[in-house]
Structure 1
Amino acid sequence: MYVSARERKLLERLLADDREMTVGELAEELNVSARTVHRDLQGLESVLRRYGLELVKKAGVGIRVIGEKKQKQALAVELLHLSHHEYTPEERQLMILIALLEADEPVKLVSLANDLNVTVATVSLDLDKLEKTVEAYGLSLIRKRGYGVELTGSESAKRRLIGELLFRHVDEHEFLALMKETIQRRPDDPLDTVAEKLLGLVDRKKLAVIEQQIAQVKETFPFTMADSSYIAFVVHLALAIERIRRGEAIHFDLRDLQALQATREHEIAEMLAESLERAFGIDIPKEEIGYMTMHLMGAKWRSRQGMLAEEPSLAVGMKAQQLIRFVSRELGVDLSADRTLYEDLVVHLKPALYRLEHGMGVANPLLDPIKQDYAELFAIVAAGTKQLFGDVSVPEEEIGYLVLHFAAALMREKKGWRALVICSSGLGTAKILATRLKKEIPDITVIEQASVFEWKTKDVSAYDLIISTVPLAEERGPYFIVSPMLREEEARAIRTFLERKSATVAKPVERGQDAQPNRQTLKTMKAIGRISETIVGMLEGFSLQVVKHRTVHGLLSDACRRLEQSGVIVDAEAVIGELRRRESLGGLGVPDTPLALYHARSFAVLRPSLTMYRLDEPQTVVGMDGNPMEINTVVLLLGPADADEATLAVLSHISSLLVKDEQSIAVLAHGDEEQVYSLISTHLEQFFDHYWTSTKE
């Protein structure tokens, strides 16, 4: 089967959308005339018939392809793997860029022209357009008559460009499918599609080995990486190993490297580097480990537990609370009590700000529909980020992801059906689909999100329906495949399914009445018990003491020795040493407040503890933003090194009070012991109620 590049784009567009599209719309998207679209459509009817599909044209309405979904998917796969004799201008420029990235020496223009079946003049025009693209990554094109063309610049810039090209042009599901196929492909087989060409930049057999090494150290990760970040990290490692073997060094600023070495992510990167060194028989330099650390720090994460007790997260938490208050004020809806929103924003903003500060960037394939469907909310969040992050330019792609968190918060409900949402592109797509589901089908109120990676580990019987944006293995049961924006006909089909299901089975909230609790129920009850026990213990041990004529370090030493005498800790010196080590990693003062949070987890701590100390004279400490600041109150928060998730959740909630709002900060900084105790106990009670309620959904 042969189709031209333009015909292929036309087919792909029709197969991707079930609604009628006018010839005018198609002509505008393809940048051709309406007459050209009519002519191409006539030639495509025979192609569609081979797959049992039909092109239906309705005067005054539009054009659409009708037929079985499996047949549409089969044709889409065929188009993907078709040997193309003609590329679109965008594909052709991408192919030229790939060829330059692969080359170790200048490439002749006539060679590029022959490979792409175009003239040298066309290649030259394509290079003109590519110059701006590569300049954005700190790269440049060297073009000389008789010399050819060469892509020059730092190794790290080239890797960043490769990673960005893969992210923008190969989605996760396609990546996994093509990776499996290309591992089995003979070396001399041609790579025809742009996606395959991009994957050709990566040694695919290395990917499997790298994934094995990551799996060995995965348990040390503080969170689970989102799919897009995981794939970007694996690809980066494959490229790095290839460059190391070729003796190509990466350069890293010494001061930046020293700052990274003090992070938890650097510890993980070192462990992974040792594993990769053994697997590939290479020495990984410290600069490469630094770059691995940056990938981990810029990654999107899936879990929230325990994150808010970290200094950088607490500083970001203040920005998150300010953004929530800004959006609440503009919308006239109070979202300040939505703890899920707060935690989601902290989890997203921490790596997002790191990415922005280091020029790493992020793609958002759903930006246009987000801007269209949430225009008012998008404008409000954009204004909020501009006001709060004035020193950091936040691109629309990041704003789009923030909008999804707020949209989800606005549509939260309490009871209804349970749904599992499977998405290939990580947190963003899953979040927007979950938001659309709650808007279109309010009866679906318990929505869990999982990636393609996690799909096989899920117990599908725990859900009323499975919804996915990508094809899944059908042997695990039926599921709905939908677009991330959830079209009306897709929502209608799901509503019909649930109406039929409700006639034969009880809703999930009713199933909870079963006298035989399952293992998940037992696990939940144990977690509730640990949370209750932790809250009671911390409130019983709470105290606010006024200390005179003491430095911060002096009062911490006295405080730890008193806690040792009371049996909270077993080794005061060990805890003091841990507190000072944490202080050496970064400031502990909470910016724009007179508070400092000194906290540690240690095996010398037997049970969680919260105590506070009011200084009679202000002391100067380093703030979490790196600037010196004056404080009058020290908050000492201690936890066991092996604290479970339930305990960490309580500790995280307490730390979040330091950035919650002006009123809470004022009480913590100036209130007496009774006032501060009342504030903390009230918010811990609200936290427990929220946790208890969420487990009954």
Structure 2
Amino acid sequence: MYVSARERKLLERLLADDRDVTVGELAEELNVSARTVHRDLQGLESVLRRYGLGLAKKAGVGIRLVGAEENKQALAAELLRLSHHEYTPEERQLMILIALLEATEPVKLVSLAHDLNVTVATVSLDLDKLEQTVEAYGLSLIRKRGYGVELAGSESAKRRLISDLLFRHVDEHEFLALMKETIQKRADDPFDTMAEKLLGLVDRKKLTVIEKQIEQVKEKLPFTMADSSYIAFVVHLALAIERIKRGEAIHFDQQDLQAIQATKEYEIAGVLAESLERAFGVDIPKEEIGYMTMHLMGAKWRSRQGAVMEEPSLVVGMKAQQLIRFVSRELGVDLSVDCTLYEDLVVHLKPALYRLEHGMGIANPLLDQIKQDYAELFVIVADGARQLFGDIPVPDEEIGYLVLHFAAALMREKKGWKVLVICSSGLGTAKMLATRLKKEIPDIVSLEQASVFEWKGKDVSGYDLVISTVPLPEEYGPHIVVSPMLTEEEARKIRECLERKSAAEKRMEKEPMARRNRPALDTMKAVRRISETIIHILDGFSLEVVKVRSVHELLADACRRLERNGVIVDADVVLEELRRRESLGGLGVPGTRLALYHARSFAVLRPSLTMYRLDAPQTAAGMDGKPMDINTVVLLLGPADADEEMLAVLSHISSLFVKDEQTLAILTHGDEEQVHLLISAHLEQFFDDYWTLAKE
């Protein structure tokens, strides 16, 4: 069987999608006219008949490949076996880039032309087109007669290009398979597909070793990485080890390196670097550890609990609240009361802001679909984000993920089936799938998202259904695999599954009550921990007017008083932790006259919130790095081993200090009774929301 490169691409596109695709879509993807697509489809009908397949065409709807699944798989296998004598221009250019990235010396154009089965003139034209691609990464092509062609530029830029090529052209499922046992068995097999040629840039044998080293430091991470960030980190380390061995040093600005050396992420990266040095017999310089740290700081989070309490500054929380208020005004819908939206945005924005400030891009394979499905919301969020972040350019990929959080909030409901969504692209994709699920099946509510790497061994007894966007091995338990955008067929399959489950539950109604009520007992215990934390906070709250003194003296007196009252056991330990927090950045809340000092320590026995109103303003460093006048010092403390429920309460209290203008006015100028009443009302609402959700 012979098909041209364009026909092969057309067949691969139709095989990859079960939904109807319009000729216009195909023409746009292939960069040809609709007439050309019609002509190619007509020419492919004989090929399809040979495999017992056909094309279903619906006017105004589109085209779909129809036939038995095994026939489709046979055709897909044949396409893989085909010798690619003819590459598309895009494939040729990708092949040239791979060759240049792998080369340690200039590559002759004649050699490239021979490998690609084209003329030297064609290779020269491809190189002309590649100039713009590599320039975007700060790289350049050196081309001289008799010399060949060479990719010139910094090592960090080359690695960034490799990572982007991998994420743009290799399906995430292939990455997951590559990093799991299913592909390790054929680590020495030749590369047949374009994706595998790209994966050849990464030494597959190293991935397993690297994963084992990461596992050893995993517990030290203050969060769980989304799969996409985890994959990017593993790929980065594999590239780094490979290129360190080749003597290709990376450069890191010494001032920036010094700035991040005080972070927890640098400490973790250092431990990991030592482990990798032993495993691979290489010396990893501080510059490489700096880049490892940047990956950790720019990684997408999956854990929400304690996100605000642990944040060295509340600037991220302020940005989240401002964006929520902007979108609420534009939509005419009040989203400021949605705690989940606020928490999710804080979790997303912290690494997102770091990525933006340091020019670290992020892939969003669902961007086109997001723009199509949420066109109006996308424009509003984009406008808000670009106003909010000022001079920092916010790419559409980041906007797309923010849109998913707002879309989920707009459609959030609190009744229905409990569903766990397994997703490999971070909270954003899982949120989008949850949104689609609730739209197609109103009785479903997504309570939690987890990554593939978190999934194994997870207790799923509290969920009615597990839905995954990636195939999971059988030992991971029962689940339904769907696409992030959820097709009609997938929605139907889920409905049928829930109907069967509903029928099964009716048959089990006579099951012993003690066995059925076990989850209810766990819920009551969690509610008790929430209420105990709130009682400690409200009973111990005080707002005292104090005479002008240095903030450090004020904090010392406050901690000693709390020690006398049995709230903490060692005032000096807590003071040291507060000073360490302050050294990481200012604690003044910009746009207010508040300074929020917060810490968790083993010297703290129970949660505490106290406030101190100064009789004259003091100058302090703000969270934005600028000096500001403060008239109120807030001291929020929690035990180092605080449980999930206590952290949720403390995080909610932290969020009040970046809430709306009315709340801030009371916190800044109100008396003890007014502030106590405000905090009581918010905590009561928090408890009511938690209890309502727990009962469902």
TM-score class, shorter: over 0.9
Q: Which residue is 1:551 aligned to?
A: 550
> How do residues 211-610 of structure 1 correspond to structure 2 at under 5 angstroms?
211-312=211-312, 314-459=314-459, 462-473=462-473, 479-499=479-499, 501-506=501-506, 514-517=513-516, 520-610=519-609
Deviation at 1:487?
2.9
Offset at 1:60? 7.1
| One-letter identity of the residue aligned with 2:130 | L
SS at match of 2:138: coil
Alignment CA distance shift 1:209-1:688 (3 Å): same
Q: 1:690 to 1:623 in 2, by over 3 A?
A: same
SS of residue paired to 1:206: helix
Structure 1 pair 97–620 and aligned structure 2 pair: CA distance change class (3 A): same
3-state SS in 1 of match to 2:515: coil
Q: How many residues align?
A: 695
Cα contact 2:588–2:628 (8 A) shared by 1 = yes
Q: What RMSD over aligned residues (CA atoms) do the two structures have, in Å?
A: 2.6
In 1: Cα distance, 2:251 partner to 2:42 partner: 56
Query: CA-to-partner distance for each residue in 1:552-576, whole Å, 9 max, x for gaps?
Result: 1110111111111111112111211
Q: Are 2:313 and 2:585, in contact at CA under 8 Å, matched by a contact in 1?
A: no
Q: Give the distance between the partners of 1:317 and 1:456, measured in 2 at CA.
A: 32
| More moved, 539-548 vs 38-47 | 38-47
The SS at the match of 1:415 is coil
Q: Give the conservation status (yes or no) of the 8 Å contact 1:227–1:453.
A: yes
Give me the whole-angstrom Cα distance separating, in 1, the residues matched to 2:225 and 2:77.
Answer: 28
Report the CA distance shift for 1:459/1:88 in structure 2 as closer, same or farther (over 3 A).
Answer: farther
Shift of 1:153: 0.8
Question: Aligned residue for 2:677?
Answer: 678
Which whole-Å deviations, capped at 9, do the CAs of 1:212-260 have from their partners, x for residues lacking one? 0101111111111011100000010111112222232211111111111
Change (3 A) 1:47 1:528: farther
**CA distance 1:617–1:418, shift in 2 (3 Å):** same
In the alignment, is residue 193 of structure 1 matched against residue 196 of structure 2? Answer: no
Counterpart-to-counterpart distance in 2, 1:51 and 1:520: 52
Deviations 1:378-427 (A, max 9, x none): 11111111221112111111111111101100111111122333333333
**Match of residue 153 from structure 2:** 153
Q: Deviations over 1:449-499 (max 9, x none)?
A: 333334443456654444333334467676544332223343344335544
Q: Quickly say closer, same or farther: Cα 1:186–1:301, change in 2 above 3 A.
A: closer
Counterpart for residue 614 of structure 2: 615
Rounded Cα–Cα distance in structure 1 between residues aligned with 2:78 and 2:552: 69
Amino acid at match of 1:484: P
Which residue does the alignment assign to 1:652? 651
Match of 1:94 in 2: 94
Distance 2:59 2:616 in 1: 82
Task: Pick closer, same or farther for the CA change 1:186–1:569 going to 2, 3 Å.
Answer: closer
Write the distance in 1 (CA, Å) between the matches of 2:468 and 2:74.
18
Greater displacement, 550-559 / 479-488: 479-488
Three-state SS of the structure 1 residue aligned to 2:301 is coil
For residue 457 of structure 1, give the secondary structure of its aligned residue in structure 2: coil
Q: Aligned-pair distance for 1:515?
A: 4.1
TM-score, scaled relative to structure 2 = 0.94
Give the distance between the partners of 1:294 and 1:432, measured in 2 at CA.
Answer: 27
Q: Is the 8 A contact 1:14 1:65 kept in 2?
A: yes
Q: Distance in 2 between matches of 1:689 and 1:71?
A: 56
The 2-side partners of 1:507 and 1:6 are apart by 55
Question: Helix, strand or coil for the counterpart of 1:453?
Answer: helix
Tell me, in whole angstroms, the C-alpha distance in 2 between the residues paired with 1:174 and 1:634. 52
State the TM-score, normalized to the length of structure 1.
0.94
User: In 1, Cα distance between the equivalents of 2:429 and 2:303?
Assistant: 16
1:532–1:688: 8 Å Cα contact kept in structure 2?
A: yes
Q: Deviations over 1:357-388 (max 9, x none)?
A: 11101121111111111111111111111221
Per the alignment, do residues 664 and 606 of structure 1 end up closer, same or farther by CA in structure 2, a change over 3 Å counting? Answer: same
Q: Secondary structure at the match of 2:442?
A: coil
Which residue matches 2:6? 6
State the AA in 1 paired with 2:450: A
User: Is the 8 Å Cα contact of residues 112 and 123 (structure 2) preserved in structure 1?
Assistant: yes
Q: Provide the C-alpha distance between the structure 2 equivalents of 1:114 and 1:181, rounded to a whole number of angstroms.
A: 34
Q: Structure 1: give runs of 5+ residues left out of the alignment.
A: none
AA at the equivalent of 2:601: S
Which residue type is aligned with residue 361 of structure 1?
A: G
2:685 partner SS: helix
Structure 2 CA distance for partners of 1:481 and 1:181, relative to 1, 3 Å: closer
Q: Per-residue CA shift, 1:161-208, capped at 9, x if unaligned?
A: 111111111122111324556644475x53232211111111111110
Tell me the secondary structure at the aligned position of residue 450 of structure 2: strand
Secondary structure (helix, strand or coil) at the match of 2:657 reads helix
Q: Please identify, of 679-688 and 401-410, the stretch whose mean Cα deviation from structure 2 is larger.
A: 679-688
Contact 1:84 1:192 in 2 (8 A): no
Residue aligned with 1:282, SS: coil
Structure 2 vs 1, CA of residues 504 and 92 (structure 1 numbering), >3 Å: closer, same or farther? same
Separation in structure 2 between the aligned mates of residue 361 and residue 372 of structure 1, nearest angstrom: 22
Classify the secondary structure of the residue corresponding to 1:659: coil
- Counterpart of 2:546, as a letter, is V
Q: 1:655 to 1:23 in 2, by over 3 A?
A: closer
Identity %: 82
- Asked if the contact 1:667/1:676 (under 8 Å) is kept, the reply is yes
More off after superposition, 272-281 vs 672-681: 272-281
Local SS of the residue matching 1:330: helix
For residues 37 and 632 of structure 1, what CA distance do their matches in structure 2 show?
69
Conserved? CA contact 2:404–2:429, under 8 Å: no
1:421–1:467 Cα contact (<8 Å) kept: yes
Correspondence for 2:117: 117
